[in-house]
Amino acid sequence: MLPSNGNANNQDTGSILDVIREQTTNIEAHSNAHATEQAISDALRELASKERTVRESSITIRNTLELSSNPIAEIIEQEWVTRREQAPVSYWQDKTHSFVQFINAATKQVFLEYLLSLKTKEPDNKLNKLASLIEAPNSLGHGITRKEVRLEITNVRANIKAEIIDKMLEKVKTPNSSISQIREGKLHGPPGNQTRSLMLRVNSKGFNTIFVNLNGVLPYTRTETSTKIRLYPRINARPWTCRDCFFIGPNHTCMGKACAQCGSREHPTKDCKSKTRFCTNCKKRGHKAKDAHCPIYVREIVKEIKRMDIPLEFIEEEDKRHQLTKSLIYK
């Protein structure tokens, strides 16, 4: 494989070697994108049954000063798992909520009914403190709701008005669907031909409005200018990446700028002499730390997808999973 490292010595001379270099680079980019999509799709298939179980067998509890995650786990362990001899329960939390997952949906139901019965039977039981802090299930009956899905329409010309799209979405919205107002990204490109990204957030019902009812296409019509175009929203699943060392995912201690080609901290990318690539994320040769087909990068894309309120059918059913995978933005 010829190096394509953006080296200053790498200028086009118009020779046959440059032609070959360009072609191999194109083939490589194409097969890498394909490999990435395939890996994402495989990982999603694996995630499918787990994600349904999590959503159906968990409850969400509002954090209060008195009851943050630790006491919640203690109370449930003591009064439910130990005293009632129940199957193990798992716990996790974010800033505002604690989440409790039972072994299955039926056990969760038994727990909730038990909680209800304690009110009169054992008014002093510590579990009573939790009862009023449990969030009501969402419209699908799930006790946990993932974060709203980040949608992005890239490269939209500056004369396309966000409020016209907002109005159109308001009209097609179904009950229980949440579709945010559009937020506009920074303009880029040459004057007179500038474009920007349009961003919006949707819950799973809003997602269905756009990707099922509208089949993933937002029609845009402006009669005064007789503009009629179609916009394609995509799902922003970009993992966080460090601009300096290319580390993927949150929480890292940055060791400073690294070479994008070989991962060395001794020289900048443009001075790299290495003919081969080394990925500092998965510690393998053959690709760069910035490449999306790196298994670590794929894993983080899937984590991003998992955090969002994407309807389960889009993870479980092959056709819809394909549509989801094709609609991702991950770079």
CB contact at 8 A, 51 and 314: no
Nearer to Zn ion, 79 or 304 (CB): 304
**Which DSSP string corresponds to 138-205?**
-TTS-S--PBPEEEEEEEEETTS-HHHHHHHHHHHPPTT--BPPPEE---BSSTTS-EEEEEEEE-HH
CB contact at 8 A, 34 and 26: no
Tell me 132's DSSP state.
Answer: T
Contact set for Zn ion, span 272-301 (CB under 5 A): 272, 274, 279, 281-282, 294
Label residue 312 exposed, middle or buried (CB < 10 Å: 0-12, 13-18, 19+): middle
165 binds Zn ion per the rule CB under 5 A = no
- The candidate with the shortest Cα–Cα distance to 232, out of 132, 327, 168, is 327
242 binds Zn ion per the rule CB under 5 A = yes
262 binds Zn ion per the rule CB under 5 A = yes
Nearer to Zn ion, 165 or 279 (CB): 279
Contact region with Zn ion (CB under 5 A), list: 9-17, 54-62, 172-180, 237-245 = 237-245
Least distance to Zn ion, CB of residue 302, Å: 15
What would the 3-class secondary structure string for 261-272 be? CCCCCCCCHHHC
Least distance to Zn ion, CB of residue 257, Å: 8
Least distance to Zn ion, CB of residue 280, Å: 8
245 binds Zn ion per the rule CB under 5 A = yes
Least distance to Zn ion, CB of residue 251, Å: 11
As a whole number of angstroms, the distance between CA 30 and CA 237 comes to 20
For residue 229, which phi and psi values (nearest 5 degrees)?
-135, 175
Least distance to Zn ion, CB of residue 192, Å: 38
Nearer to Zn ion, 198 or 262 (CB): 262
305 binds Zn ion per the rule CB under 5 A = no
Least distance to Zn ion, CB of residue 256, Å: 7
Number of residues that bind Zn ion (CB under 5 A): 15
* Among 44, 237, 259, 308, contact with Zn ion (rule: CB under 5 A): 259
Nearer to Zn ion, 45 or 284 (CB): 284
As a whole number of angstroms, the distance between CA 272 and CA 9 comes to 11
As a whole number of angstroms, the distance between CA 276 and CA 172 comes to 52
Nearer to Zn ion, 144 or 260 (CB): 260
Q: What letters, b where the CB count within 10 A reaches 16 and e where it falls short, cover 266-300?
A: eeebeebeeeebbbbbbeeeebbbbbbbbebbbbb
* Among 10, 32, 227, 264, contact with Zn ion (rule: CB under 5 A): 264
Least distance to Zn ion, CB of residue 300, Å: 11
Nearer to Zn ion, 233 or 263 (CB): 263
Least distance to Zn ion, CB of residue 268, Å: 8
Alpha helices in 58-154 (DSSP H): 69-76, 105-121, 127-131
Nearer to Zn ion, 6 or 219 (CB): 6
35 binds Zn ion per the rule CB under 5 A = no
Q: Which residues bind Zn ion (CB under 5 A)?
A: 242, 244-245, 247, 254, 259, 261-262, 264, 272, 274, 279, 281-282, 294
